[in-house]
Protein backbone atom coordinates (compact mmCIF):
# COMPACT_ATOMS: atom_id res chain seq x y z
CA UNK A 1 0.00 0.00 0.00
CA UNK A 2 2.85 2.37 0.83
CA UNK A 3 4.38 1.61 -2.57
CA UNK A 4 1.19 2.63 -4.40
CA UNK A 5 0.88 5.78 -2.27
CA UNK A 6 4.50 6.74 -3.04
CA UNK A 7 4.00 6.24 -6.80
CA UNK A 8 0.78 8.27 -6.74
CA UNK A 9 2.45 11.08 -4.79
CA UNK A 10 5.43 11.10 -7.16
CA UNK A 11 3.08 11.25 -10.17
CA UNK A 12 1.23 14.24 -8.73
CA UNK A 13 4.50 16.07 -8.04
CA UNK A 14 5.84 15.42 -11.55
CA UNK A 15 2.54 16.57 -13.10
CA UNK A 16 2.60 19.77 -11.06
CA UNK A 17 6.24 20.61 -11.78
CA UNK A 18 6.43 19.76 -15.50
CA UNK A 19 4.81 22.32 -17.80
CA UNK A 20 2.11 21.09 -20.16
CA UNK A 21 3.12 20.40 -23.75
CA UNK A 22 2.26 23.51 -25.74
CA UNK A 23 3.09 21.83 -29.04
CA UNK A 24 -0.28 20.09 -29.20
CA UNK A 25 -2.08 23.36 -28.49
CA UNK A 26 0.05 25.06 -31.14
CA UNK A 27 -0.93 22.49 -33.77
CA UNK A 28 -4.62 22.89 -32.91
CA UNK A 29 -4.32 26.68 -33.12
CA UNK A 30 -2.57 26.84 -36.48
CA UNK A 31 -4.74 24.16 -38.01
CA UNK A 32 -7.92 26.06 -37.13
CA UNK A 33 -6.64 29.56 -37.83
CA UNK A 34 -4.49 28.99 -40.89
CA UNK A 35 -6.07 26.40 -43.19
CA UNK A 36 -8.87 28.80 -44.24
CA UNK A 37 -6.23 31.26 -45.53
CA UNK A 38 -5.21 28.70 -48.17
CA UNK A 39 -8.56 29.20 -49.93
CA UNK A 40 -9.12 28.76 -52.93
CA UNK A 41 -6.29 26.23 -52.69
CA UNK A 42 -7.01 22.85 -51.11
CA UNK A 43 -4.92 21.95 -48.07
CA UNK A 44 -2.68 19.00 -48.94
CA UNK A 45 -3.25 17.43 -45.52
CA UNK A 46 0.22 17.98 -44.11
CA UNK A 47 1.68 20.79 -42.09
CA UNK A 48 4.46 21.50 -39.68
CA UNK A 49 3.83 23.55 -36.55
CA UNK A 50 6.09 24.44 -33.66
CA UNK A 51 6.51 26.86 -30.83
CA UNK A 52 9.31 29.26 -31.75
CA UNK A 53 10.85 32.35 -30.23
CA UNK A 54 12.58 35.39 -31.62
CA UNK A 55 15.94 34.50 -33.14
CA UNK A 56 15.02 30.89 -33.92
CA UNK A 57 15.06 29.24 -37.32
CA UNK A 58 13.38 26.07 -38.58
CA UNK A 59 13.47 24.10 -41.83
CA UNK A 60 10.71 22.21 -43.59
CA UNK A 61 11.23 19.97 -46.62
CA UNK A 62 8.56 19.31 -49.24
CA UNK A 63 8.46 17.47 -52.54
CA UNK A 64 6.60 19.45 -55.18
CA UNK A 65 5.54 18.19 -58.59
CA UNK A 66 5.86 19.81 -62.01
CA UNK A 67 2.70 21.36 -63.37
CA UNK A 68 0.91 21.62 -60.00
CA UNK A 69 -0.09 25.04 -58.69
CA UNK A 70 0.89 25.47 -55.02
CA UNK A 71 0.34 27.98 -52.26
CA UNK A 72 2.84 28.03 -49.41
CA UNK A 73 1.55 29.84 -46.34
CA UNK A 74 3.54 30.57 -43.20
CA UNK A 75 1.14 31.18 -40.34
CA UNK A 76 2.20 32.83 -37.09
CA UNK A 77 0.62 33.61 -33.77
CA UNK A 78 -0.47 37.26 -33.49
CA UNK A 79 2.02 37.94 -30.69
CA UNK A 80 4.98 37.12 -32.95
CA UNK A 81 6.92 39.71 -34.94
CA UNK A 82 7.02 39.48 -38.71
CA UNK A 83 8.21 36.11 -39.91
CA UNK A 84 10.74 35.65 -42.70
CA UNK A 85 10.99 32.65 -44.96
CA UNK A 86 13.23 31.56 -47.79
CA UNK A 87 12.47 28.76 -50.24
CA UNK A 88 15.39 27.04 -51.93
CA UNK A 89 16.00 23.95 -54.06
CA UNK A 90 18.38 21.10 -53.25
CA UNK A 91 21.22 23.01 -54.94
CA UNK A 92 20.66 25.93 -52.53
CA UNK A 93 19.31 28.17 -55.28
CA UNK A 94 16.89 30.64 -53.73
CA UNK A 95 13.48 30.36 -55.34
CA UNK A 96 11.70 32.88 -53.12
CA UNK A 97 12.66 35.22 -50.27
CA UNK A 98 9.86 36.88 -48.33
CA UNK A 99 12.15 39.73 -47.23
CA UNK A 100 12.56 40.76 -50.87
CA UNK A 101 8.80 40.58 -51.44
CA UNK A 102 7.35 42.85 -48.77
CA UNK A 103 7.53 40.27 -45.95
CA UNK A 104 4.50 38.45 -47.29
CA UNK A 105 3.43 35.26 -45.58
CA UNK A 106 2.42 33.32 -48.67
CA UNK A 107 3.84 32.42 -52.04
CA UNK A 108 1.92 30.97 -55.00
CA UNK A 109 4.08 29.00 -57.42
CA UNK A 110 4.11 26.36 -60.14
CA UNK A 111 7.36 24.35 -60.30
CA UNK A 112 8.83 23.63 -63.73
CA UNK A 113 10.20 20.30 -62.51
CA UNK A 114 9.36 17.87 -59.74
CA UNK A 115 11.81 18.52 -56.95
CA UNK A 116 12.38 18.77 -53.23
CA UNK A 117 12.32 22.26 -51.77
CA UNK A 118 13.44 23.55 -48.40
CA UNK A 119 11.52 26.25 -46.55
CA UNK A 120 13.61 28.04 -43.95
CA UNK A 121 11.52 30.02 -41.49
CA UNK A 122 13.16 32.66 -39.30
CA UNK A 123 11.72 34.72 -36.48
CA UNK A 124 13.74 37.96 -36.40
CA UNK A 125 14.77 39.49 -33.09
CA UNK A 126 13.14 42.82 -32.33
CA UNK A 127 15.76 45.23 -31.02
CA UNK A 128 13.44 46.70 -28.41
CA UNK A 129 12.60 43.26 -27.03
CA UNK A 130 15.95 41.49 -26.79
CA UNK A 131 15.73 40.68 -23.07
CA UNK A 132 12.31 38.98 -23.21
CA UNK A 133 11.97 37.25 -26.58
CA UNK A 134 8.43 36.68 -27.78
CA UNK A 135 7.35 33.05 -28.00
CA UNK A 136 4.54 31.89 -30.26
CA UNK A 137 3.18 29.36 -32.65
CA UNK A 138 4.42 29.04 -36.26
CA UNK A 139 2.98 26.75 -38.93
CA UNK A 140 3.94 25.97 -42.52
CA UNK A 141 1.10 24.89 -44.83
CA UNK A 142 0.85 23.87 -48.46
CA UNK A 143 -2.21 24.01 -50.64
CA UNK A 144 -2.90 22.71 -54.15
CA UNK A 145 -5.07 24.42 -56.72
CA UNK A 146 -7.62 22.23 -58.42
CA UNK A 147 -7.17 22.00 -62.17
Asked if residue 12 is part of any domain, the answer here is no
Contact 134, 77 (CB under 8 A): no
CATH of the domain at 84: 2.60.120.380
Asked if residue 7 is part of any domain, the answer here is no
pLDDT at 119 (0 to 100): 97
Asked if residue 10 is part of any domain, the answer here is no
Question: Which residues, 6+ apart, have CB-to-CB distance to 109 below 8 Å?
Answer: 69, 70, 72, 95, 96
- Can you give the residue range of the structural domain that contains 35? 21-144
Please count the structural domains in the chain: 1
pTM for the predicted model, two decimal places: 0.79
pLDDT at 12 (0 to 100): 33
Asked if residue 140 is part of any domain, the answer here is yes
pLDDT at 20 (0 to 100): 46
Asked if residue 16 is part of any domain, the answer here is no
The neighbouring-strand residues paired with 144 are 42, 70
Contact 64, 114 (CB under 8 A): yes
Asked if residue 71 is part of any domain, the answer here is yes
Contact 71, 38 (CB under 8 A): yes
State which H helix or E strand residue 22 sits in. helix 22-34
pLDDT at 25 (0 to 100): 81
Asked if residue 95 is part of any domain, the answer here is yes
Asked if residue 61 is part of any domain, the answer here is yes
pLDDT at 10 (0 to 100): 33
User: Mean pLDDT of residues grouped by 10 in the chain (147 residues)?
Assistant: 39 36 74 87 90 93 96 88 92 96 94 96 79 86 89
pLDDT at 112 (0 to 100): 92
Amino acid sequence: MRHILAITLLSVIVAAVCPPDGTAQCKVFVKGACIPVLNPYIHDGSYQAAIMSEGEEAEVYKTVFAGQQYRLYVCVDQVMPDVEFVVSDIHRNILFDSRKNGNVRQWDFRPDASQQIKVTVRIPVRKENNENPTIGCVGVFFGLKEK
